[in-house]
A and B are shown apart, each in its own frame.
Chain A
Amino acid sequence: MNPPVLDIHNLSVDYQTELGPLHALRDVSLLVPEGKIIGIVGESGCGKSTLISTIIRLLAANARIVDGKILFKGDDLLGMGVDQMRALRGDEISMVFQDPMTSLNPVLPIGRQMSDVQHRGKASAAERKTRSVMMLERVGIPDPETQLTRYPHHLSGGMRQRVAIAMALMTEPSLLIADEPTTALDATLEVQIIHRLEQLQRDFGCSILFISHHLGVIAELCHEVVVMYAGEVVECGPTREVFLNPRHPYTRKLLECDPARIAARTKDLPVIEGGLPDLVKLPEGCIFRDRCDQSVARCATERPRLSGAGHTVACHAVVCHPVVCNLAEHPE
């Protein structure tokens, strides 16, 4: 059996700040199997971006990888040299960014940008062009040949994001990292992009690591979901299980806050009381303790570890009072 595309083991990353090291990621473990779409959810500041930057090794200068391993198809990314890493980026691992306006070069036509992406291959200019046209067609851009001569500002937001996706898939990567690719788009385009990604993923067979804080998008697209809070993974499991039967108090609250889940019209929307803990002076015990309504004595002293099979959760309270599984109400 092939090794998983991405296997992250106990990754910890610090940022050096004036006040001392800020522990941005602590003990993060994550598995992206071949051909799966894995979603990461969490509030801003939970370490999603740090995690991505660590995977593609584009961390800020003041960041330090304290501990852990990132295995990409069995090879340790953290041990690779600059050249090896550069060869992987944009070839085996590619990325779609949040804002398609700033990730495309505004002063070059998209045809030029799409052929530049293919600089590694030995294809001739004509072949590159044919390939660009083909890719644009795949992502559903009408009249691709004329589009090649146009500049990013000529295209609408949804088209730009599809061009970005076409460019990311051009080299047939094994892993596509999508960092909130639909945040800048509205509902109809969001759905279009999601379906396009789903279809392309099936065709190309690549794995996707999909970051979003839009819970509806994650529910619709991802096979598995990882919930992060303040630099830790608090819950992880198949999307259906996590959404229907959230076990960590944070996941539960996060889902409760989603206005889409509240059936009755209300002007008083739920919020999670309190704020993120100080990541420089980490509190002892569970990181979510201050905002949690189920905390037990153990939470103050001992950090919970991820436990469980398949659907894992890092919470003492869950182990003490297991939540009644309501999966029976939602048969497959």
Chain B
Amino acid sequence: MSAVLSVSDLHVRYPLHAGITGLTKRRPAYVDVVHGVSLEINRGETVAIVGESGSGKTTLAMAICGLAPVHGGEVRIDGRKLERDRNHRLNPDRKRVALMFQDPVGSLSPRMTIRKILAEPFLIHKVLGKNPQTEALRLLSLVGLGEEIADRYPHQLSGGQARRVGVARALALGPDILIADEPTAGLDVSIQGEVLNLLTGLQQDMGLGIMIITHNLNIVRHVADQMAIMYLGRFLEQGDAQQVFDKARHPYTAALLSANPSHDPDARPNRIELLGEVPSLLQRPKGCEFHTRCPRAETLCKESFPEANQSQAKQVFNCHFPLD
């Protein structure tokens, strides 16, 4: 089975100096936000991207949807490359990947009713043969919201409802892949469960591939089939979620997993303390990016970036001195 979405060696680079300063600089400076990421998502599969803020998770999602400039590498949807034509238009495959934005209320236009927001994708993509108005109501019922929501404005919704509208809008054009950027941030545990159950239900009904971006490890453990750990724009480890939780090979993954606060007040977790700060993207460390904070780092780590290692069962990690 070939993957619906495949990303290979993707780079996203932003110029440091915009405008006039950018033009006058002899050697333009850049910052690499996503630095060589490869990833595949199949139908019906959930992939979780985990990492600290600033590690490039959201930029990766944006780049996959053509919303951030791709500097190197490529994004393929069903084997066809996603690119812009001469008129700077993305090819039609783009609509097969839908994005749920991080800020649920902020990503809905404050001056449009929910009905209008949900009808808009059909008008923009000039979908013929479907009545946008009835489609809007169908989408609302799909995500478990009543018709009375249709005439409300985004500010009249609760956090959970706004997320559901975000899901409905993402599903409007029947995508194959749904990218959910922090779908549960700021939600209470009960509502968080509702949103995740909704996504899982839709995935089972429609065979969606889901890429979920989060820093909540507890939900990753439950919903993800695959997971990838991102640090400074690179995947340090990726593989089957259950396996990564059971046996992390990269020291960063191990530290991240051990940091998760426990619900048990008696637990005295064995934490791996990370030293220092996350380095700035402007001064990307030489060699392995993680060596500045790594408890296992040696001279070799400062000099060369470790090649991808693969354990049996497809767990990939970049480390010179992996954990057993």
- Please indicate whether A and B come from the same complex rather than being unrelated chains: yes
Task: Choose from B242, B255, B262, B274 the contact partner of A216 (Cβ within 8 Å).
Answer: B262
Residue pair A194, B261 in contact (C-beta under 8 Å): yes
**Interface assignment of B90: CB less than 8 Å from any CB of chain A:** no
Question: B52 → chain A, closest Cβ, in Å?
Answer: 5
- Known A-B contacts A268-B197, A271-B197; A189 and B266 likewise in contact (beta carbons under 8 Å): no
Residue pair B260, A156 in contact (C-beta under 8 Å): no
What is the CA–CA distance of A154 and B226 in the complex, to the nearest angstrom?
34
Residue pair A213, B188 in contact (C-beta under 8 Å): yes
Q: Which of A184, A239, A259 has the largest count of B CB atoms less than 10 A from its CB?
A: A259
Q: Which residues of A contact B186 (CB under 8 A)?
A: 183
Q: Which residues of A contact B92 (CB under 8 A)?
A: none
**Interface assignment of A134: CB less than 8 Å from any CB of chain B:** no
**Interface assignment of B194: CB less than 8 Å from any CB of chain A:** yes
Residue pair A186, B215 in contact (C-beta under 8 Å): yes
Task: Choose from B194, B260, B274, B276 the contact partner of A260 (Cβ within 8 Å).
Answer: B260
- Known A-B contacts A156-B278, A188-B255, A270-B193; A43 and B263 likewise in contact (beta carbons under 8 Å): no
Question: A260 → chain B, closest Cβ, in Å?
Answer: 4
Q: Which residues of B contact A319 (CB under 8 A)?
A: none
Question: B299 → chain A, closest Cβ, in Å?
Answer: 23
Q: Which of A45, A268, A269 has the largest count of B CB atoms less than 10 A from its CB?
A: A269
What is the CA–CA distance of A269 and B184 in the complex, to the nearest angstrom?
13
Question: A26 → chain B, closest Cβ, in Å?
Answer: 20
Encode A35-73 as 1/0 by CB contact (under 8 A) with B: 000000001110000000000000000000000000000
**Interface assignment of A265: CB less than 8 Å from any CB of chain B:** yes
Encode A183-220 as 1/0 by CB contact (under 8 A) with B: 11111111100100000000000000000011111011
Q: Which residues of B contact A3 (CB under 8 A)?
A: none
Which B residues have a C-beta under 8 Å from some C-beta of A?
51-54, 158-159, 185-194, 196-197, 200, 215, 217-219, 221-223, 242, 255-256, 259-267, 271, 274, 276-278
- Could you list 11 examples of A-B contacts with CB < 8 Å? A43-B188, A188-B259, A216-B263, A243-B263, A259-B192, A260-B263, A262-B222, A267-B197, A271-B191, A271-B193, A330-B266
